[in-house]
Structure 1
Amino acid sequence: MQRLVTDPNEKLWGMLTHLLAFSTFVGIPLGNVVGPLIIYLIKKDEYEFVAEQGKEVLNFQITWSIIFIVSAILIIVGIGLIMLIGFGIAWLVLVILGSVAANNGESYKYPLTIKFLN
C-alpha cells in the first residue's frame, strides 16, 4: 500500500522536485536535470518522500533528455520535428501530473523511464 504524505513541507519539496524540470525553459542548460538534482541533494536526507520522488524525477528527466537529443538528431531525416513536438507535449503533461500527485502527497511513477538511480 502506498504511503500518503501529509507533512505540508515534505509535499512542497516533493512538488518542487517535479516542477524544477521547467527550469530548462529559463535558459539553464539541462535545467530539467539540474533543478531536480539540486533539490534532491539538499533535501533527500531530510524527507524520505523527496528522496523517492527525486530519484523518480531524475530517472525520467535523464531518459527524456536522451529521447529529445535523439529526436533533434533525427530532424536531419525529417521525422525528428514530429517526434520533438509529440514527445514535448507528453513530457509537459507527465511533469504536470507528477507535480500534482506530489502536491497531493502521492508518489508518482513516470512511465517510459530508464532506472539510472535506484
Structure 2
Amino acid sequence: MEYSNATIMREDRQLLMLTHLSQLLDLVTGIGGFIVPLVIWLTQKDKVLGMDAHGKMILNFQISIFIYSIISIPLILLFGIGILLLIGIGIIAIVFPILNAIKVNNGEIPSYPLSIEIIK
C-alpha cells in the first residue's frame, strides 16, 4: 500500500466553533481574542477542513474591530460620537462571534459584516 504526501484533513466543527468563541477572550485578557485564534489557525489550517477560511475570516474581523476602535477614539471629542461608536463596536464584537460559532456548529457558513479583507 502506497501513501501520498497529501495531508488528509478532518472535519472538526467543535474546533471551528471554539475558534470563533475564542475571540471573546478580549473581554477578559484584552488581546487573547486575537492571539488564540491566530495560534489555532496557524497550527490547524492544514489539518482541519475549513480552518484556513475561518481563521482568515476571524483575524480580518479582529483587525477590523481594532481599526474601527482606533478611528472612533478621536471622534469622542466630536460631540461624543466616538463613545456611541465604541459601544456599537463592543456589541458587534460580542454578538457576531457567538452567532457565527452557532452557525459553524450547525454546518452553516459564518459571516462577519463590516470586516475588512486584509488577510486573503
TM-score interval (norm. to shorter): 0.7 to 0.9
Match of 2:5 in 1: none
CA offsets 1:12-70 (integer angstroms, 9 cap, x no match) = 1111111111111222x432221210110111110121111111111111111111121
Deviation at 1:104, TM superposition (A): 1.6
Match of 1:97 in 2: 99
Q: Which structure has greater helix proportion?
A: 1
* TM-score normalised by length of structure 1: 0.83
Distance in 2 between the 1:86 and 1:24 partners?
A: 16
Which has more radius of gyration? 2
Distance in 2 between the 1:106 and 1:80 partners?
A: 34
For these two proteins, the number of residue pairs brought into alignment is 110
Deviation at 1:101, TM superposition (A): 0.9
Distance in 2 between the 1:53 and 1:14 partners?
A: 7
Distance in 1 between the 2:49 and 2:60 partners?
A: 17
TM-align CA RMSD: 1.7
Letter in 2 for 1:24: D
Deviation at 1:112, TM superposition (A): 1.2
* TM-score normalised by length of structure 2: 0.81
Runs of 4+ in 1 over 6 A off after TM superposition: none
Letter in 1 for 2:42: L
Match of 2:82 in 1: 80
Match of 1:21 in 2: 23
Match of 1:59 in 2: 60
Contact 1:53/1:107 (8 A) holds in 2: no
Structure 1 residue runs without a partner (length 5+): 1-5
